[in-house]
Amino acid sequence: WLEGSCSLQARAAAGGGGGGGKRSKPSKPSSRVDELAERWAVGSDGDGTFDEALVVDVYGRFLAGGRSGRGRSADLSRLELSGYLERYLWPHFDGESASWEHVMSIVVMLNAKFGEGVDGWAVLRAERARFDAFFGRALGLPSERAEMPWLERAEWVRFLVRAFGSLEEEMVRVQALKLASLPMWLTLSERDAASRLKAQPALSRPWKFVKKRRTKEAALPSGPPLSSQREESFLPSLLRQTVEALALADERARGAATEDGVGGVDDEAEGGGGGGGGAS
């Protein structure tokens, strides 16, 4: 549901649509991608050098949300086959200094691997601390940009769907389940929370601990830490955004249908249907 709503918005933003448009010609080989791939294709870790500016450039040229269709798919496939994720992006990822494009590039490349039926988590499994830092950065991608295009948001939601669908993977489970735990009840009204506690009395003691911890964190000079804020509001906020996205998509669809209907009436009128008493 989440992924579908964002994909719907992404297609609308890209002007995508129905089957009536012209089909694009197959893209020509991108020599630029192949040339860049030489930076990391030799050996398991490339030539040992790393350039964050190159990651930003590659993302903007070949992976960004403004591009879609066969051209982007072909470039993505070349980057995947060259080992861009495992030989360049992941070995040089730093949770504190990595650019937004670096984090988003890992998200896109993971989605590509899973789309090909490959276990993307295997690339990240050996370095738990690095994965934890990456997952935290990935959760915050929309908040790090003033505006995140729908195509990019669709990639992000696709990653979240995959994460919550991979709870058998221990490193993923530890991070994902923090977002679906008892602190989310803090977004409920006192009445709703009391009703749920009455139905599940075993949670009364953990609930008191959660509230006590939040009270202490709220008194901190900097307020509750980001991890606590996400435990409380990440999923509720995402669900609200999804409902808003669906409503916007419905509104746009209705507007487009109205415009098509008006256009059809105008065309009919211009066609000379103005005679007076014809039977309809």
pTM confidence score: 0.76
Q: What's the pLDDT score for residue 207?
A: 94
- Tell me the per-residue pLDDT of 88-142, one tens digit each, with 9 for 90 and over: 999 999 999 999 999 999 999 999 999 999 999 999 999 999 999 999 999 999 9
Q: What's the pLDDT score for residue 8?
A: 47
Q: What's the pLDDT score for residue 279?
A: 45
Candidates 117, 33, 103, 113; CA nearest to 71 is 33
pLDDT score of 174 more than 70: yes
Q: How many CB atoms lie within 10 A of CB 93?
A: 23
pLDDT score of 191 more than 80: yes
Token pair, residue 190, equals: 């006192």
Q: How many CB atoms lie within 10 A of CB 18?
A: 6
- Tell me the per-residue pLDDT of 226-264, one tens digit each, with 9 for 90 and over: 999 999 999 999 999 889 888 888 888 888 878 776 555
Q: What's the pLDDT score for residue 6?
A: 53
